[in-house]
Amino acid sequence: MTDFPVEQPTAVSPEADGDEREFESSLRPRRLAEFVGQERVREQLQLVLESAKRRGSPPDHVLLSGPPGLGKTSLALIIAAELGAPIRVTSGPAIERAGDLAAMLSTLTEGDVLFIDEIHRIARPAEELLYVAMEDFRVDVIVGKGHGATAIPLDVAPFTLVGATTRSGLLTGPLRDRFGFVAHMDFYSDSDLVRVLRRSAEVLGVALLPEGSEEIAGRSRGTPRIANRLLRRVRDFAEVRADGVVSRQIAQEALAVYDVDELGLDRLDRAVLDALIRRFGGGPVGVSTIAVAVGEEAQTVEEVAEPFLVRAGLLARTPRGRVATDAAWVHLGLPPPGGRAGWPGTMEATLFEPG
């Protein structure tokens, strides 16, 4: 099981590794005042934390939900920093047995913060044990087997659980109900991403002009993690092929090299649209067929490319399959067909497939 005490906020996203982990960690805000965007969530969270500090007791358990890359892990680390408390970091998939969770909870001291990333993936036996720990600060340890098994209650020091999830719909009702504060994080506006990029550029020592930050922000899909990743790539380009200053033109040239177009679409996104339009006439077509056409797993297409394409208005999920919108045809430089039954914009095309 992956859990460890963290004195400084150094945890990074599970998708990152190597240099990417170090990069993300270096750019994380340390305090709530440094956190850019999500104003409503920050205001609510500040009230929760401040009132808890005035009472001298741990705050209610906190659930942070939203798409990847919006700062859920950063907020969890900030919560611990604002409370001046140690944080224990783990993830849902790492907690396979109730005993794993019981062992972790038994080592907590009063006021500690326990952060469980991807909490919707926690094993059911461990989740049931977590109910009692969150509500009554107690765990029941089962000793023995069969008819002779006995439950021994053990007290747990009052703690604050911070759960993060990208799939809040997969959380069970009993688990969700035990969180005193639930916050949903939305995609960032371009203006907020510009602020994120300016702060990151200061930390990294990058000469970033205002128009350069605007260009990168507009291609970042409303996601700070992507914005920071693109900034690092543009920085590399500017240092090697220019004078190190990131202007709009340099950002455009750099992102063209890295296959990120003006809407933020990458190679996979464009491959999906290209296959859908050029090979299947714009659809409707099933996601598994599209996946075969682009040489990817269906799950990758559905979870990585499709959400942004739908949000950007380039793809629609209809009862009969995926359909390219008029905007997708135009984006690929092709005239949209029009006049076809079930085309996006009709009532039929707005119906999403189950699941």
Query: Quick check: is 73 catalytic?
Result: yes
CA 295, distance to chain mean position in Å, is 25
Cis peptide before 284 (omega within 30 of 0): yes
Query: Quick check: is 350 catalytic?
Result: no
Choose the catalytic residue: 72, 88, 219, 235: 72
DSSP letters, 276-316, are IIIITTT--B-HHHHHHHHTS-HHHIIIIIHHHHHHTTSEE
Query: Quick check: is 90 catalytic?
Result: no
Query: Quick check: is 19 catalytic?
Result: no
Beta strands in the chain (DSSP E): 4-6, 62-65, 87-91, 113-117, 138-143, 150-155, 160-165, 181-184, 207-208, 245-246, 315-318, 321-324
Query: Quick check: is 166 catalytic?
Result: yes
- Round to whole Å and give the CA distance between 219 and 229: 11
3-state secondary structure of 151: strand
CB 23 within 8 A of CB 115: no
Choose the catalytic residue: 88, 178, 219, 225: 225
Residue among 95, 168, 166, 87 at smallest CA distance from 130? 95
User: Which tokens belong to 227?
Assistant: 């914005």
Choose the catalytic residue: 3, 100, 112, 117: 117
Output the CA torsion sign for 50, 223, 88, 139: positive
- Round to whole Å and give the CA distance between 228 and 197: 7
Q: What are phi and psi of 183, to 5 degrees?
A: -125, 130
Choose the catalytic residue: 42, 121, 166, 198: 166
- Round to whole Å and give the CA distance between 73 and 115: 8
3-state secondary structure of 323: strand
Give me the count of residues in the chain: 355
- Round to whole Å and give the CA distance between 186 and 171: 18
CA 75, distance to chain mean position in Å, is 12
For the annotated catalytic residues, the residue numbers are 72-73, 117, 166, 225
